[in-house]
Amino acid sequence: MFNTRELQDKIVKLKQEKDVCILAHAYQSQDILEVADYVGDSYGLSELAKNAPQKTLLMCGVRFMAETAKILSPQKTVILSHPQAGCPMAEQLSVEELKQLKQNYPDHSVVAYINTTAELKAECDVCVTSASALEIAKKLPAEKILFIPDPNLGNWVKGQVEGKEFRFIEGGCPIHTRITAEDVKRERNLHPRALLLVHPECRPEVTAAADYAGSTTGIMKYVKNSDADEFIIGTENSIVQHLQFEYPEKKFYALSKACICEDMKLTTLADVYNCLLGKGGEEIQLSDALQKGARKAIDAMLTYAK
């Protein structure tokens, strides 16, 4: 039996011996973040996946993040820390449905949130993350945009881009949409001095009521640069915990107790350890054709967002 610190020490030793880079999305638990080589949002993870010098990438997050890492670094072994960790939003649209939409709207550029399967990415013009979506939508030469699959992120972008037409599908993050306007009212009343920071995957009425909306890394940076000492956080609740570790003298409140992504929470520190021993996780395998198709849209994102 090991305690947390002993298991973490073993992981740090093993990852060095085996030349493994541990990438962790910021929604992972604190014990995992502490052993990771990089912690951040989807955009930062994709940049790191492209540039990390190690031969193996261990992705602590959800499947589309591991697929993106494999597409950007096809020569590397990419392991998803927990085979069942998926993003429900990534599968809200089938490839057949997207092909039909493209036929219906042939004059639209297809912009895909990175929370999509590799098969969907291969059918799109450009990927975006929550950190890069606004900049890319502004820079895209297209005047008509079909934005899949998150209408909440899409509407948040649309509200800040002039002179372009947007089309959305029904869907969205089942976790962030648990947050309601009622939650905003209650928490604002409870903590009148606190600033409200939310992820743009939230419902429009929640995002509209916020002092700041941005990606997970954006929220962390906002706190870093702010003089305020109380914050209500409207995104996956592990961010509340991480911020509390980073700034123990400040106060952080969850906007909703229900904003917990069960998929992001599947991976445990023991999974990370077992992956390094070669006894767990799943090695990501994608056909060459699929990697090539999806890579165009991801490369377009990295080029636009430079």
Residue number, 264 or 276, with CB nearest to ligand SF4: 264
Closest CA to 12 of 242, 273, 246, 278: 273
Token readout for 227 is 């003089």
Residue ranges of E strands in the chain: 20-25, 38-40, 56-60, 77-80, 109-113, 126-128, 144-148, 165-168, 195-198, 212-213, 230-234, 251-254, 282-283
d(CA 112, CA 115): 8
End-to-end CA distance of the chain: 47
d(CA 212, CA 156): 12
To ligand SF4, the closest distance from the beta carbon of 114 in angstroms equals: 10
Instruction: Using the rule CB under 6 A, give the single segment among 93-101, 123-131, 269-277, 296-304 that binds ligand 13P.
Output: 123-131
Kindly give, in sequence order, each residue whose CB lies less than 8 Å from that of residue 273, ignoring residues fewer than 6 positions away.
7, 10, 11, 14
Tell me which residues in 112-151 interact with ligand SF4 (CB under 6 A).
115
Closest CA to 199 of 297, 94, 81, 113: 113
Report the partner that residue 118 touches, choosing among ligand 13P, ligand SF4, none (CB closer than 5 to 8 A by kind): none
Report the partner that residue 8 touches, choosing among ligand SF4, ligand 13P, none (CB closer than 5 to 8 A by kind): none
Question: Of residues 109, 215, 238, 256, which one binds ligand 13P by CB under 6 A?
Answer: 215
Residue number, 24 or 35, with CB nearest to ligand 13P: 24
d(CA 15, CA 21): 7
Question: Of residues 216, 237, 256, 291, which one binds ligand 13P by CB under 6 A?
Answer: 216
Decide: is 130 part of the binding site for ligand 13P (CB under 6 A).
Answer: yes
Tell me which residues in 40-69 interact with ligand SF4 (CB under 6 A).
62
Decide: is 173 part of the binding site for ligand 13P (CB under 6 A).
Answer: yes
Residue number, 8 or 116, with CB nearest to ligand 13P: 116
Output the residue with the shortest Cβ distance to ligand 13P.
Answer: 41
d(CA 65, CA 79): 10
To ligand 13P, the closest distance from the beta carbon of 204 in angstroms equals: 16
Residue number, 175 or 290, with CB nearest to ligand SF4: 175
Q: Where are the alpha helices (DSSP H) in 105-213?
A: 118-121, 133-139, 151-158, 181-190, 204-208
Report the partner that residue 41 touches, choosing among ligand 13P, ligand SF4, none (CB closer than 5 to 8 A by kind): ligand 13P
Residues that bind ligand 13P (CB under 6 A): 41-42, 87, 115, 129-131, 173, 199, 201, 215-216
